[in-house]
Structure 1
């Protein structure tokens, strides 16, 4: 492979992928470790943190809110968050730049709504085009003062903190970001905030707040939260040591599919998070005929982890819809690549959320894979892929989407000629040194 600042030329792989890989820390948990750790009274030591662009956005924003966070570039996966308590945040001197991170912006909406000061959230162009009404509207029902472009739907978002009241809210679609924002606001609201979602969504916020001692209860798809009467505890491991962020299963998905598609490959991916709200990718691949082994399963921490062993196997088409979509919402670019090599038709429905991610993932995945010869048809709420289809080398574009860029890189490994990926540097948003890790050029070390 030949890499420039923006472009990456990928040649077909002529050897199997073998050995052990450690993918970066879970992005969702890394964001929350900074935000929730800031609300504790005491210090949260975090290892396995993801040193990627999106998480740095959260780090910089929390520092701007007065939270002391230690981070040494020499040990980039370690952070120390000195919590300021629920009421210790301070008014920022400037606008808060969320860069390209939707998680940062949406969770901060909930956190800032109940503060006693004024703040403004903004970010890069793509983030300012992403809809925020889904989180702003229920926060307004709680008494939050949030304004923005397009009737308060688009950033920049101006938030004037106000006393909040608890609400009972039924989410129209399952969204961990919206749920987490409302839970954060609920920590500052008078009364009990009750949030019901129509299906499963990531539960990292619930797990972490529960471990910190927040008054929180779970009943099926309903979470109830109240303002704490005692200080929140710092994040720690069950034995009192540092809080460990597991490897991100959404990042592992790209290596899993690469091992499935590249002949004679076998990979061991270590310390991968296997939270059931995140393992939709494994269930989907199992429906497509894939098998794998779990080793070193550890379920005694806040987040369960395991080593995942996967090898090259034939795949067949399947239909993906309903709750399964929510549990794999970030993995559909690489699922589309797997489907190009599966026997028969793969149909994805109920995934309209992909239209408003970092980019229009449905349209852009279809557009770029078609350049490589894939038989893929976009739908309003998903896509149809007919396979198997030999892929050819082409010039493709990331559209500023880190997951699309990584998916196209994996597709290029099995193409019949070199592929040039334009905008390849965006992969660092969630997976620094993705190419090196994929090819086994990064030494596997402990987090």
Structure 2
């Protein structure tokens, strides 16, 4: 699917009824990518249930096939991966196209760096603008060689290390993608790979490494969180149940917080504490948000999240919370737009290098719909209306699925409909988003502008 070939403008307006019911969102994207990759590196057959079947993850599945693993879909969300063992991937016969997925591209750099094979990777026009030096620079110390366009951008070629060296690397900024790429490369290295992160980031890679039998040690120290991986383990196939993606659940939950009279439940949501910064922030804002049926599945905490409509107040979001909610700032900005007072979200430099300059695009989304917002350094300030959002604007989405979904949720809580110039790429991460929102709203709150 080439996103630019089929532009899909949509418009969202206030629903005729409150949001209600119990719903499920697609599987966690971060866990889905990793399940396919670790399945390809394991000995035996890994059974995966609940896999996200958006385009981003399907690109990873195709890449694992190209690298020699057997990857089969057995049913809705049910997949089977027969792996080749650590170090056993084969040279792909063609270019690996990662579509719109920065996560897949950066993790794959780590996977390829540890294998003595040559590969070329590309992506869509949005991904080809995103920086890869943050992963290729540390991965070069394994003995791998990388060639990129100017600025470290895709297309990218890699010649993996013949005998990968273990890394000892301190991340300059917290990034789960860079950490994971280093650990994936470290699987093929003899010895201990050591990564230090200044702030804890999502730890799905560490959890899954243990699930497949690797030895991983994590310690909080004065220099940061230290992760150590013993290299060249024999990973053994293990079943994976992918929980609902908390980043996807966030959109409907915020919608319920903002549409008067709403009470909505999202079942089976992943609640890894390194992913739930948005939920903590919303509670600080006074949101009625609670977890029911909390449990652990496949090493990950899971629960049903209930959201109810109620007034919100402005807060200051500390920069240290950013790694646990880096993808949720656009939808938080929508919630903050209705709050009483000015919400300051601090330390958002990372948003400048997402699918779009997400910091500037989020401010522009608000401004286009009558909400005052400003950027001070790396901080985003949202001056809440204390009431309904004026709306009426058309949002330029810049091929950013999270921006598009946030704008459409804004339309549910606005006095005038909110449009987006293109929503076709929402399917990359949240298949069926508009249909699910309309189901919760009991009508056609989101409709085509075409």
How far apart, in 1, do the equivalents of 2:308 and 2:119 lie?
A: 49
Check whether the contact 2:410–2:418 (CA below 8 A) recurs between aligned residues: no
> Number of aligned pairs?
430
Identify the residue that residue 232 of structure 1 maps to in structure 2: 235
CA-to-partner distance for each residue in 1:64-111, whole Å, 9 max, x for gaps?
A: 111110015xx3311111111113211011111111111111001111
Identify the residue that residue 378 of structure 1 maps to in structure 2: 375
Pairing 1:300-319 to 2, within 5 Å after superposition: 301-319=298-316
Deviates more, 1:409-418 or 1:335-344: 409-418
How far apart, in 1, do the equivalents of 2:52 and 2:242 lie?
A: 8
SS class of match (2:83): strand
Check whether the contact 1:215–1:228 (CA below 8 A) recurs between aligned residues: no
Of 2, 6, 9, the residue aligned with 2:8 is 6
Of 50, 53, 64, the residue aligned with 1:51 is 53
How far apart, in 2, do the equivalents of 1:112 and 1:437 lie?
A: 37
- CA deviation after TM superposition for structure 1 residue 419, in Å: 2.7
CA-to-partner distance for each residue in 1:389-422, whole Å, 9 max, x for gaps?
A: 6322222222110000000000011222233221
Check whether the contact 1:321–1:351 (CA below 8 A) recurs between aligned residues: no
Q: Say whether 1:276 aligns with 2:280.
A: no
How far apart, in 1, do the equivalents of 2:109 and 2:56 lie?
A: 16
How far apart, in 2, do the equivalents of 1:11 and 1:284 lie?
A: 26
CA-to-partner distance for each residue in 1:14-53, whole Å, 9 max, x for gaps?
A: 3100111101100000000000111010111111100101
Check whether the contact 2:18–2:441 (CA below 8 A) recurs between aligned residues: no
How far apart, in 2, do the equivalents of 1:63 and 1:379 lie?
A: 45
SS class of match (2:22): strand
How far apart, in 2, do the equivalents of 1:214 and 1:304 lie?
A: 20
Check whether the contact 2:267–2:304 (CA below 8 A) recurs between aligned residues: yes
How far apart, in 1, do the equivalents of 2:14 and 2:440 lie?
A: 17
SS class of match (1:440): helix
- CA deviation after TM superposition for structure 1 residue 57, in Å: 1.0
How far apart, in 1, do the equivalents of 2:260 and 2:191 lie?
A: 57
CA-to-partner distance for each residue in 1:187-242, whole Å, 9 max, x for gaps?
A: 1112211101001101000000001111221112111012234x211122xxxxxx
CA-to-partner distance for each residue in 1:321-341, whole Å, 9 max, x for gaps?
A: 222111000000100000100
How far apart, in 1, do the equivalents of 2:127 and 2:73 lie?
A: 26
Pairing 1:282-431 to 2, within 5 Å after superposition: 282-299=279-296, 301-388=298-385, 390-431=389-430
Check whether the contact 2:36–2:61 (CA below 8 A) recurs between aligned residues: yes
- CA deviation after TM superposition for structure 1 residue 441, in Å: 6.2
Unaligned runs of 5+ in 2: 1-5, 443-450
How far apart, in 1, do the equivalents of 2:400 and 2:182 lie?
A: 27
SS class of match (1:307): strand
Identify the residue that residue 141 of structure 1 maps to in structure 2: 141
Identify the residue that residue 157 of structure 1 maps to in structure 2: 156
Check whether the contact 1:53–1:429 (CA below 8 A) recurs between aligned residues: yes
- CA deviation after TM superposition for structure 1 residue 125, in Å: 1.4
SS class of match (2:228): strand
Pairing 1:13-32 to 2, within 5 Å after superposition: 13-32=15-34
SS class of match (1:207): helix
* CA RMSD, 1 decimal: 1.6
Identify the residue that residue 70 of structure 1 maps to in structure 2: 72
Check whether the contact 2:142–2:166 (CA below 8 A) recurs between aligned residues: yes
SS class of match (2:126): helix
Unaligned runs of 5+ in 1: 237-242
How far apart, in 2, do the equivalents of 1:442 and 1:35 lie?
A: 37
Check whether the contact 2:12–2:409 (CA below 8 A) recurs between aligned residues: no
CA-to-partner distance for each residue in 1:270-299, whole Å, 9 max, x for gaps?
A: 000000110101111111111322111112
Deviates more, 1:106-115 or 1:300-309: 300-309
Deviates more, 1:199-208 or 1:364-373: 364-373
**Residues 418 and 292 (structure 1 numbering): CA distance in 2 closer, same or farther, change over 3 Å?**
closer
How far apart, in 2, do the equivalents of 1:102 and 1:442 lie?
A: 32
Check whether the contact 2:49–2:241 (CA below 8 A) recurs between aligned residues: yes
**Normalization by structure 1: what TM-score?**
0.93
- CA deviation after TM superposition for structure 1 residue 116, in Å: 1.6
Identify the residue that residue 240 of structure 1 maps to in structure 2: none
How far apart, in 1, do the equivalents of 2:391 and 2:35 lie?
A: 42
Pairing 1:41-190 to 2, within 5 Å after superposition: 41-72=43-74, 75-150=75-150, 153-162=152-161, 163-190=163-190
